[in-house]
Chain A
Amino acid sequence: MSLSAAETPAPDLTPGLTPAQQARRAHMGLLARARPDDLARGLAGLFPDLPAHSFLRAPEVGAVMVQGRTGATGAPFNLGEMTVTRCTLRLASGEVGHAHVQGRDKAHATRAALVDALMQTDAASDVQGMLDGLTASEATRRRARAARAAATKVEFFTLVRGEDQ
């Protein structure tokens, strides 16, 4: 049988989101995946002191049950939990920021929520510059991993046997 299929496109997981929601989804994911040190350094570069804020929900460590799908495509099942820290805060200017980040780092969750709130303010373009830096360092990390994997791809070659000649 032939397996020479065209590249299957990734399904659109975000149907019906507005461009603003798409952008918020993108930066919240980026913040959750960012190395805590990278985010701390980036934010400190823009705001030596954290912008004034009050917690609507103080950083809280909890567990999220991670689900898989039977046979990769079928019915969901519970694979196991992961640690997650969530935080909701309000800037002095009123904007509300949310964060749900992997792990137990409350300072990281607080910074992620701050950035989410700041992206709704006039500081958004400056903050976007920092986010671009996080995107670049994530892309570098991913490329390094993918490059090592690619080097282990098997190149098959066929041995010509005498009787076929």
Chain B
Amino acid sequence: MYVAVKGGERAIANAHAFLAEERRGDTAVAELTVPQIREQLKLAVNRVMAEGSLYDPDLAALAIKQARGDMIEAVFLIRAYRTTLPRLAASLPLESADMACIRRVSATFKDAPGGQVLGPTFDYTHRLLDFKLLAEGEAPLAAEAAPLAARTPHITGFLNRDGLIQDEPADNTTPPDLTREPLELPASRALRLQALARGDEGFILGLAYSTQRGYGRTHAFVGELRIGTVAVEMEIPELGFAVEIGEVEITECETVNQFKGSKTEPPQFTRGYGLVFGQSERKAIAMSLVDRALRWKELGEDFTGAPAQDEEFVLSHSDNIQATGFLEHIKLPHYVDFQAELELVRRLRSEAAAAREAAE
């Protein structure tokens, strides 16, 4: 017999006070400000915006501070906040060809028009701890050169001109929205891309890596990886035309994948696509590999049973807030459920014991 009880208010209040004190840490050390997080932990801010699915660097920095650096907790805070906002409208689709690129590399064409622009990359660093950063007051200066052409054309555009790669014709259908309707399977590619864009970086990375190791291999080349800012445009009903409402920094990855061709299609390359808020090329590359793996059906490929090909598996498990919510709830009181299990085990044991006695 278990009787439901109330209690714990004082313990919970004190636990929250303890949390707040721990968050602050040693008061002999200066307190971290939200602008410091926004400016100096920018990639953490970017990840929280991408997986929180809300572009607002100040809020993401605040969430990181409040969550004591726990990224998934910070994403949770952003997701909770965004549900309080009225949806004003949808933007026009971003024109990533107009991106002001700070980084743009191609692994397929050395002499790509627009060049190989490395930008602020960790690539080619030695991954040795830099003890100079322990000292305060560093303000390094970047080198400058005459700016390049304003517009950097997409690599896939050149391949497409020769018909060597599958076309991606524009249309203006209204895409499905995961935040408005529950996930339905089979999912369209637009819905899959939305889920991947807000999915957990670690999960998407693991899936993408599994395709490279042979679980749904698609032989991906990074045709192009670009990072930069693009304008966001929106139709203003009162005016009857679209205006720019701001700018977002995004990372875009386009992969070029092998494709044998079919009865109706000549042999040509196919594509995987990754697009993520902020600077997050690991996520963008991983997203494009998983996007391509999930396209096996439309491209007439075999389903090999690989996890990255299974859209139900991928889309049902990519959201870290859903995942952590369900995972972590099992630490909360389950006294009644467990009491029922306990009663059952006791009854089975006594029945088994009785049966054994009767047999003897």
> Taking beta carbons and an 8 Å cutoff, which residues of A are in contact with B?
1, 3-5, 7-11, 13-14, 17, 21, 24-25, 28-29, 32-33, 60-84, 86, 88, 98, 100-104, 142-154, 156
Contacts and interface: CB of A to CB of B under 8 A. Distances in A.
Given A62-B85, A81-B53, A81-B82, A74 B241 contact: no
Contacts of A28: 243-244
A109 B148 CA distance: 33
A60 B85 CA distance: 10
B6 interface: no
The 10 A-B residue pairs with the shortest CB-CB distance, nearest first, are A102-B246, A29-B244, A71-B168, A146-B147, A74-B168, A77-B190, A147-B144, A82-B55, A80-B53, A62-B88
Interface stretch (B34-42, B102-110, B305-313): B102-110
Interface in B106-165: 109-113, 115-121, 142-151, 153-158, 161-162, 164
A144 B157 CA distance: 28
Nearest to B196: A77
Nearest to B103: A149
B281 to A, nearest CB: 15
Nearest to B164: A1
Given A71-B271, A153-B117, A5 B153 contact: yes
Contact of A67 (B90, B120, B151, B244): B90
B63 interface: no
Contact of A77 (B101, B121, B193): B193
A3 B275 contact: no
Given A7-B151, A146-B148, A70 B189 contact: yes
18 contacts: A7-B151, A63-B85, A66-B90, A67-B91, A70-B189, A71-B168, A73-B97, A78-B179, A80-B55, A80-B277, A82-B246, A98-B239, A104-B59, A145-B100, A146-B147, A150-B148, A154-B115, A154-B117
A102 B111 contact: no
A62 to B, nearest CB: 4
B236 A149 contact: no
B221 interface: no
Contact of B112 (A3, A60, A61): A3
Interface stretch (B66-74, B169-177, B206-214, B341-349): B169-177
Given A76-B173, A146-B148, A25 B247 contact: no
A68 B96 contact: yes
A102 B233 CA distance: 11
Nearest to A100: B245
Nearest to B174: A76
A31 to B, nearest CB: 9
B87 interface: yes
Given A145-B102, A149-B148, A151-B143, A3 B111 contact: yes
Give the interface size bracket for B toward A. 35 or more
A133 B243 CA distance: 20
B231 interface: yes
B273 interface: yes
Contact of B233 (A11, A13, A143, A149): A13
Nearest to A6: B113
B273 A70 contact: yes
Contacts of B154: 72-73
B149 A64 contact: no
Contact of A153 (B116, B157, B250): B116
Contacts of A104: 56, 58-59
Contact of A76 (B102, B109, B150, B175): B175
B87 A62 contact: yes
Contact of B245 (A32, A68, A73, A80): A32
Contacts of B112: 3
Given A64-B245, A81-B85, A88-B238, A152 B118 contact: yes
Given A25-B241, A63-B82, 9 more contacts: A5-B161, A17-B241, A72-B156, A72-B168, A76-B175, A88-B238, A104-B56, A151-B145, A154-B116
A32 B194 contact: no
Given A21-B241, A69-B93, A86 B88 contact: yes
A25 to B, nearest CB: 5
B43 interface: no
Nearest to B154: A72
A8 B157 contact: yes
Nearest to B105: A154
Nearest to A27: B243
A110 to B, nearest CB: 15
A40 to B, nearest CB: 17
A150 B147 CA distance: 5
Given A74-B171, A80-B197, A104-B56, A149 B87 contact: no
